[in-house]
Amino acid sequence: MKKMKLSPSVFAADLGELKNQIKQLEDSNVELLHVDVMDGHFVERMAFGADHIRMLKNMTDIPLDVHLMIENPEVHIDSIVDAGADVITIHQESTTRILSCLHKIHNRGIKAGIVLSPATPEETIKYLLDDIDMILLMSVNPGEGGQHFLSSTVDKIKNVSTLIGDRDIDIEVDGSIDDETIKPCYEAGANVFVSGGYLFKNIKDNTEALRKAVKG
Ligand code: ZN
């Protein structure tokens, strides 16, 4: 099995306590920091642009895992890379130029990934497997709060895992990940876990609980 990685979502952080919370994430050795970029069009909410990513980059060495929930991602790739992203994932549903976006990200020397919303069939990634480092599966509807984990995600992870075979591609899950939902996802083949509300409730204890849950 691939190495398990945690990618806490900054969207769930207490921005007034951000410095302190990032220090706690560093102390808990999280592997990535997940940054949701939302434009108010592709998803209802708005959050974090290139300036915020630059600010985070100046605060920490944790690699930044930037999830673009925006229309026309091609327009923003350069500024997001310049700001310090280490991985950029883009939604399959957000552009008709998905391949050129992936190439644009790779040409800038960082990792690229594709995101599937819950209703987007996994078969569609078949044609992109040689152009991605990561597949992000949404386990809730993107950009909406207070949702439950969609159990259909587990089958989707299994199917994606079969599709990618022995390629070196991370499978990331985003949405309502806690110490109960993480285990079936890990067993199905996912290895990168975005956690928001659950993890930030108690960074030290809950990062430990998440790591323990996949082992138990
Ligand atoms: Zn996300």
pLDDT digits (tens, 9 = 90+) for 59-96: 999 999 999 999 999 999 999 999 999 999 999 999 99
Q: How far is the CA of 69 from the centre of ligand 1 (A)?
A: 8
Strand order in the sheet with 46-47: 5-8, 192-195, 170-174, 134-138, 111-116, 87-91, 64-69, 33-39, 46-47
What's the average pLDDT block by block, 10 residues per block, for the chain (216 residues)? 93 96 98 97 94 98 98 97 98 96 98 97 94 97 86 97 96 96 97 96 98 90
Burial state string for 41-76 with b = 16 or more CB within 10 A and e = fewer than 16:
ebbeeebbbbeebbebbeeeebbbbbbbbbbebbeb
Domain total of the chain: 1
Question: CA 91, 97, 102: angle at the middle one, nearest 5?
Answer: 65
Q: Per the residue annotation, which of 65, 170, 174, 179 is the catalytic one?
A: 174
> Residue 10 belongs to what domain range?
5-215
Q: What is the pTM of this model?
A: 0.97
Asked about 174 being catalytic, the answer comes back as yes
Length of the chain, please?
216
Q: How far is the CA of 6 from the centre of ligand 1 (A)?
A: 12
Q: What is the pLDDT of residue 187?
A: 96
Asked about 170 being catalytic, the answer comes back as no
Q: Per the residue annotation, which of 36, 65, 178, 179 is the catalytic one?
A: 36
Closest by Cα among 24, 37, 57 to 203: 24
Q: What is the pLDDT of residue 143?
A: 86
Q: How far is the CA of 198 from the centre of ligand 1 (A)?
A: 14
CATH number of the domain enclosing 120: 3.20.20.70
Q: How far is the CA of 177 from the centre of ligand 1 (A)?
A: 11
Q: How far is the CA of 34 from the centre of ligand 1 (A)?
A: 6
Q: How far is the CA of 3 from the centre of ligand 1 (A)?
A: 20
pLDDT digits (tens, 9 = 90+) for 86-111: 999 999 999 999 999 999 999 999 99
